[in-house]
Amino acid sequence: MMTADELCAMDEDLCGIRMVHLERVAKARRELLDEGELDRMARIFKMLGDPNRLRIITALMSGEMCVCDLAAFLGVSESAVSHQLRRLRDLWLVKNRRDGKILYYSLDDDHVADLVETARVHAEEK
C-alpha cells in the first residue's frame, strides 16, 4: 500500500491532485471487482456498443423473432443477422428455441432489457 506522500507525488504530475483521500482509495480498492468479472462486463458492453446488435436487442425486447424477421427489420442479409445473433448468444444476451425448422430468438433474461433501458434513460437525460 502506498503512503499518501507517494500517491500525491505520483499523481501530481498527472492531474495536479494536492490531497488524496486514503479512505476513499482504500474503499474503492476493496470494492473493485475481480479481473474475470470486469472482463466479462466489458465484453457485454462492447457487444451492446454496436448499433446493429443494439437494434437486434431492442427488437427482441418486444418479443421473440426469427432470423428472417430480424433481417427484414434491419434491412440486412440473414447471414449477417445470424452472425450477430451467434455473438450475442455467446455472451448469454440472447437465446433461441426451435419450432420445426425455424429458430426463434429472444432475450436471455430481463437483465438484458434492463441494461438497454437504463442506457436509454441515461442517454435521454442529457
Asked if the model's pLDDT at residue 5 lies above 90, the reply is: no
Structural domains of the chain in order of their starting residue, each with its CATH number: 4-32 (no CATH), 36-125 (1.10.10.10)
Asked if the model's pLDDT at residue 15 lies above 80, the reply is: no
pLDDT (0 to 100) of residue 17? 62
Catalogue the long-range contacts made by 47-53 (C-beta closer than 8 Å, 24 or more residues apart). Answer: 47/87, 47/88, 47/91, 47/93, 48/93, 48/115, 48/116, 48/119, 50/84, 52/76, 52/80, 52/84, 53/84, 53/87, 53/88
pLDDT tens for residues 75-118? Answer: 999 999 999 999 999 999 999 999 999 999 999 999 999 999 99
> Taking all residues of the chain, what is their mean pLDDT, rounded to a whole number?
91
pLDDT (0 to 100) of residue 126? 73
Asked if the model's pLDDT at residue 8 lies above 60, the reply is: no
